Amino acid sequence: MSALFAFLHHVSAFTLFAALVVEFVLIRSVLTVESARKIQVADMIFGISSGVLLLVGLVRVFHLEKGAYYYFHTWTFIAKLSLFVIVGLISIIPTREFLRWRLAVKAGKVPTVSAEKMRSIRSIIHYEMAGVVLIILMAALMAKGIGLML
């Protein structure tokens, strides 16, 4: 069971990062109806994979692996979880914008977005990607036993 949940954890993490990269690539070019639709799909995949990642991760922490006591006494885990929450919270801003595009996209029209708003969304996606890279660093450190405070 532990191996299955480890697999699910990794697949959801890779899916999350892939969806974020797709958003990043698409948001850098001129917005079209098709690219807006793809961004919305990528953002939905990002949200679903982050939910799966969180749920599977919590199952691993509380019911599998080394147990909650161990993880909550490891600063790298606390940093990883904190970064995950921060990335999740800042991702609300682009998600709300992408949801705002629904009517225009459904009508076959390019969403109206100011240049300033697009710059802001691009910056946030950059921050999200940096946060995910730091999460991966914390995971690698955890795997080597770094950060234990017992």
Q: CA-CA distances (angstroms) from residue 107 to 17, 26, 39, 92, 103?
A: 30, 20, 16, 24, 6
d(CA 12, CA 57): 10
d(CA 101, CA 40): 8
Q: Does the residue 99 lie in any domain?
A: yes
Residue 15's identity, in one-letter code, is T
The residue range of the domain holding 54 is 2-143
- 141 pLDDT band (50/70/90 cuts)? very high
Q: Does the residue 40 lie in any domain?
A: yes
Residues paired with residue 148 on neighbouring β-strands, in sequence order: 74
Q: Does the residue 29 lie in any domain?
A: yes
Q: How many domains does the chain have?
A: 1
Q: 111 — phi, psi (to 5°)?
A: -60, 145
Mean per-residue pLDDT of the chain: 96
Q: Does the residue 149 lie in any domain?
A: no
Q: Give yes or no for a contact between 26 and 42, defined as CB atoms under 8 angstroms apart.
A: yes
Q: Does the residue 148 lie in any domain?
A: no
| pLDDT value of residue 111 | 97
| pLDDT value of residue 118 | 96
Report helix, strand or coil for 96: helix
Q: Does the residue 28 lie in any domain?
A: yes
61-111 pLDDT per residue, tens: 999 989 999 999 999 999 999 999 999 999 999 999 999 999 999 999 999
Q: Does the residue 150 lie in any domain?
A: no
The pTM of this model reads 0.93
Residue 58's identity, in one-letter code, is L
pLDDT reading at 150 higher than 90: no
Q: Does the residue 37 lie in any domain?
A: yes
